[in-house]
A and B are shown apart, each in its own frame.
Chain A
């Protein structure tokens, strides 16, 4: 199994002066999605990571899991991972915490 480096935007507006990035090593598999990567980090490496999933449809329809992957906007439930990635919140939205933004 191949391991990929996943660089993730972290920001807690209530206590951080500015955002920072944290890098995780995640075992990848063929056709893995960004949502799978985030679930892996949350379940196995870092439970403090915030990303939208509580009402996501996981079927490319609701668009609430929208974020930025390698500088391109995409749905985390459907964007596939083919190597190292950088994950950021959707630009121009107010960050609630980490990858979760207001107004989606």
Chain B
């Protein structure tokens, strides 16, 4: 939400809200494209809701004062900071009470009904209990379970874990999108995504021998698709990871981005689009200076977006009464690969969840929580203060991230996933319960925050690893070296995860279809992309 932010909608819907230029487009065509991009794993009911509501939600933001440009096709181009400003203004106008820096760790339940949320006010170091007639989770993904990510702090799957512990289902947890070409080195620029944007204009991705591997080793069509379409995330991430896995990567574990072969006047011309090499709130002048001196930056894919999450239906309802989920933390809309906008997802699903929750709240009375359940939560959260061991949450967190980096990265394999499950279970059984916190105060206690985050990371990664192990194929962003093809005959199924008698249980169900039939046969990575792009052009 920080950098550039696009809202996607179909051209006919756009024309109806005054954005002209692509009247020949239709909701049906937008719907179809999202399915092709999602490798047909999408829940079609959720996709229908997305395309049907996109234009109305966009108009709402425009009416509220969002600054934007319309690309004349399918994208309203704005900035994350501006969308935030507009939404926060609306929240303030409605006198909504906001609790900042309250880390929700658990949901309060009565049987299978959610009656509130429980957590820690980290600035005061006290527990916080919030009773509610309905709860909406809108907390993004679990990117911080990886050591390299384009996402801000805090995204550790905390509410996925809370929903799971309360009895909700998680779905498509093996699906993780990586944003390629994010800076790994130098440290002051670490996390910047500008090379991801620059590569569309010029420059080369190089291996440690200085070879432009994408040009050298791939079909020219794949190179063209990677540099000119939104399939860039998937293609660049795969290509870079293959280089690193074969030992041809950079010292920090990535590849190189260089503009050394680009003539100076071409660079000067490009600067006109980004005056002074500044863009939104970000200053890329330092990076450009470094590159123009002839250096390369080290770049790598960074954990970026989770297609999987809490299972919801088209009303944003989870499998628990009183619990709704919206945006990235929910799963199913984008299937195995997201190309359309996640901001549109926030807007559409957020509004649906709000309406559903309000309707329920109107006919429900506030219920008290199960005191015994609340006591168990408090006791779990307090435990690390009561025991003295040498187990530090910061070390456990590092071990967790190492598992995610090694085994749940862009390319996975059965042996590694099995190892990840074993290692995560060992952490859950032997280390997490023994974590001890050194500082006595609970006020902004970083070790406490790390303990809470480590607990959810282990749970969410185990769900991700088990789902990835079960899916014996490669589909969209889930790629397995031991099963390199998409298997449409066997795997057009969603995998969902739930707790049953204290164990993590996996089940499958066929993809939810409303009108589009599913493809058949097996396809490899490159042929799959080429065929998909041709299908999108038709």
If the complex has contacts A31-B188, A59-B191, A61-B2, are A47 and B446 also in contact, measured as CB distance less than 8 A?
A: yes
Is B524 interfacial (CB 8 A cutoff)? no
Complex CA–CA separation, A59 to B438 (angstroms)? 30
CB-based contact B281/A53 at 8 Å: no
Chain B residues whose CB sits within 8 angstroms of the CB of A50 once the complex forms: 443-446
| Known A-B contacts A47-B446, A57-B2; A12 and B441 likewise in contact (beta carbons under 8 Å) | yes
Question: Is B152 within 8 A of A55, CB to CB?
Answer: yes
Q: Residues of B contacting A60 with CB < 8 Å?
A: 281-283
In the complex, the 7 A-B pairs of residues with the closest C-beta atoms, listed nearest first: A48-B439, A31-B186, A57-B152, A61-B2, A55-B154, A50-B444, A100-B444
Beyond A50-B446, A55-B153, 14 additional pairs, beta carbon < 8 A: A29-B187, A31-B186, A32-B187, A42-B446, A43-B394, A47-B394, A47-B438, A47-B439, A54-B446, A55-B152, A55-B154, A59-B152, A60-B283, A61-B282
The answer to whether A56 and B152 touch across the interface, beta carbons within 8 angstroms, is yes
A15-B437 Cα distance, complex, nearest whole Å: 18
- Docked Cα-Cα span, A53 to B75, in Å, equals 33
- Report the bound CA distance from A57 to B150 in whole Å: 9
Residues of A within 8 A of B103 (CB): 54
Interface size counted on chain B using CB atoms at 8 A: 31
Alpha-carbon distance A60/B191, docked complex (angstroms): 10
Closest chain A residue to B189 by CB distance?
A31
Judge whether B499 is part of the interface by a CB distance below 8 angstroms: no
For A100, the chain B residues whose CB sits under 8 A away are 123, 444
**Contact call B123/A102, Cβ cutoff below 8 A:** yes
How many angstroms between the C-alpha atoms of A59 and B187 in the bound complex? 11
Residues of A with C-beta under 8 A to B439:
47-48
If A30-B186, A96-B123 touch, does A53 touch B441 (CB 8 Å cutoff)? Answer: no
Q: Tell me the number of A-to-B contacts counted with CB atoms below 8 Å.
A: 82
Residues 411-422 of B, flagged 1 when their CB comes within 8 A of A and 0 if not, give: 000000000000
Q: B441 contacts A14, CB within 8 Å?
A: yes
A59 and B192 in contact (CB under 8 A), knowing A14-B441, A48-B438?
yes
A80 to B186, CA, bound (A): 11
Residues from chain B with Cβ under 8 Å of A36 in the complex: 187
Chain A min CB distance to B417 (Å):
28
**Chain A residues touching B, majority SS:** loop
Q: Are A58 and B152 in contact, with the CB atoms below 8 A?
A: yes
Given A50-B445, A59-B192, A61-B81, answer yes or no on A31-B152 (Cβ-Cβ < 8 Å).
no
Is there contact, CB below 8 Å, between A58 and B191? yes
Interface residues of B (CB under 8 A from A): 2, 81, 101, 103, 122-123, 152-154, 186-188, 190-192, 281-283, 392, 394, 398, 437-439, 441, 443-447, 449
Bound CA span A78–B154, Å: 19
Contacting pair B153 A58 (CB below 8 A): yes
**Contact assessment for A47 and B281 in the assembled complex, using a CB-CB cutoff below 8 Å:** no
User: Per DSSP, are chain B's interface residues mostly helix, strand or loop, or mixed?
Assistant: loop
Residues of B within 8 A of A51 (CB): 446
In the docked arrangement, what's the CA distance between A53 and B103, Å? 14
Q: Is the CB of A97 within 8 A of B153?
A: no
Separation in Å of the B296 CB from the closest CB of chain A? Answer: 15
Residues of the B chain whose Cβ atoms lie less than 8 Å from the Cβ of A54 = 101, 103, 122, 153-154, 446, 449
**What distance in Å separates the Cβ of B303 from its nearest Cβ neighbour in chain A?**
13
For B150, give the chain A residue with the smallest CB separation.
A59
A98: nearest residue on chain B (CB-CB)? Answer: B444
Q: Please tell me if the beta carbons of B154 and A47 are within 8 angstroms of each other in the complex.
A: no
Whether, in the assembled complex, A85 has its beta carbon less than 8 Å from a beta carbon of chain B, the answer is no
Q: Which chain A residue lies CB-closest to B449?
A: A54
Query: A52's closest neighbor in chain B, by CB?
Result: B444
Residues of A within 8 A of B441 (CB): 12, 14-15, 97
Interface centre among B122, B188, B192, B439 (most CB of A within 10 A): B188
Q: How far is the CA of A29 from the CA of B281 in the complex (A)?
A: 27
Return 13 A-B CB contacts under 8 Å, by A number.
Answer: A43-B394, A50-B445, A54-B153, A56-B152, A57-B153, A58-B152, A59-B191, A60-B282, A61-B2, A61-B282, A80-B188, A97-B443, A100-B444
In the bound complex, do residue B282 and residue A59 qualify as a contact, i.e. CB atoms below 8 Å apart? Answer: yes
Contacts of B443 in A (CB 8 A): 12, 14, 50, 96-97
Known: A57-B152, A59-B192, A61-B81. A33 touches B187 (CB 8 A): yes
Q: How far is the CB of A77 from chain B (nearest CB, A)?
A: 8
Chain A 1-56 residues near chain B, CB threshold 8 A? 12, 14-15, 29-33, 36, 42-43, 47-51, 53-56
A84 to chain B, nearest CB (A): 18
Chain B residue at minimal CB-CB distance from A102 = B123
Q: How far is the CB of A57 from chain B (nearest CB, A)?
A: 4
Contacts of B152 in A (CB 8 A): 55-59, 62
Report chain A residues within 8 Å CB of B123: 96, 100, 102
Contact A47 B447 (CB under 8 A): yes
